Amino acid sequence: MKKAVIAIIDFSFKLVNQFILKFIWPAPKVLSVEKSLLAIIRDKKAVCRFGDGELMCLLGGGIRYQEANPLLASRLKQILSSNERRIEIGLPDVFSTKKLSLRTVENQSFWQDHLSNYRFQWYRSIRRNRTYLNTAISRFYIPFRDKDKSKQNSLLLKRIWQDKSILIVEGEKSRLGVGNDLFDNTEKITRILCPSENAFSKYEQILDTIKKFDRNVLVLIALGPTATVLAYDLGLAGYSAIDIGHIDLEYEWMKRGAPSQIKIEGKYVNEVSNGSVVVENLDKDNLYWNQICATII
């Protein structure tokens, strides 16, 4: 009798859960990584991405490399619920079982745990009538099962900056494209180095420095949640600015065929043990140093 009652309760819970997910919290419309990249190439808009880290900061908390900040939380909340014509918003495409099935077992487990705790917080700000880009444009390799598709998407990714002058705004030890061919197809590379941790504390200085550049430059930003806000403000100011996140590390892992996140020599990797410890390995005459136009630390 007790087992029968438990089974009925369990079945009822599943029915209620299915009803909520279908009618109250339906999955937002998020484009695939491929279609998101094609949209970026075509439309040349600013791109702000939201992942689990941005949500934590939006809720007033902090993450490993960004301490809690009330202004950052307020700005992220504003951006996620915004509807500006020049701004594209990226979301993780993990809100349905079908989309989760495209990911590795480890990544599925992570997002299932995350959504069990924070699904409501996501839906408070998501617009149901909006089509979102896929946050995983910069997480195109490790989280996905189909590695061949990931490699195809990496080629699309490079088309975004094909023959363009780019301004990379990054943490001082991120070194996007250094030691690989990720940006070999660009016309020119300029860099602004920013704090590897708590970059939002230098927000106004970073924004003002970027705005000294012509609007024709493509701005690629890798600064955690700070990049999300920068891309938004730059988009409103008429720049093509993309919150590009962990793109360089994903590219490095893809090139190595890594099954999971690993430390990359000479680069800051916040997701592995001791990844924030970076040993200097670049000759001071290296092309990288000549690309740096400003250092904001």
Q: How high is the pLDDT of residue 167?
A: 98
Mean pLDDT of 115-127: 92
Q: How high is the pLDDT of residue 9?
A: 52
Q: What confidence tens digit (pLDDT) does each residue in 190-202 have?
A: 999 999 999 999 9
Q: How high is the pLDDT of residue 72?
A: 98
Q: What confidence tens digit (pLDDT) does each residue in 141-156 have?
A: 999 999 999 999 999 9
Q: State the pTM of this model.
A: 0.91
Residue 294 pairs in a beta bridge with 192
Q: What confidence tens digit (pLDDT) does each residue in 79-111 have?
A: 999 999 999 999 999 999 999 999 999 999 999
The beta strand positions in 38-175, using DSSP E, are: 46-49, 87-91, 131-134, 165-171
The beta strand positions in 53-184, using DSSP E, are: 87-91, 131-134, 165-171
Q: How high is the pLDDT of residue 114?
A: 96
Identify the burial level of 1 via C-beta atoms within 10 angstroms of its C-beta, where 0-12 means exposed, 13-18 middle and 19 or more buried. Answer: exposed
Q: Report residue 75 as tokens.
A: 């700005």
Mean pLDDT, rounded, of the chain: 91
* Lowest mean pLDDT segment, chosen from 13-27, 42-56, 230-244, 263-277: 13-27
Q: Residue 284: pLDDT above 80?
A: no
Q: How far is C-alpha 147 from the chain's CA centre? A: 19
Q: How high is the pLDDT of residue 4?
A: 59
Q: What confidence tens digit (pLDDT) does each residue in 13-72 have?
A: 444 444 445 556 689 999 999 999 999 999 999 999 999 999 999 999 999 999 999 999
Q: How high is the pLDDT of residue 285?
A: 61
Q: Residue 6: pLDDT above 70?
A: no
The order of strands in the sheet holding 218-222 is 29-30, 131-134, 87-91, 46-49, 240-243, 218-222, 165-171, 188-194, 292-295
Q: What confidence tens digit (pLDDT) does each residue in 196-220 have?
A: 999 999 999 999 999 999 999 999 9
In the chain, how long is the greatest CA-to-CA distance?
78
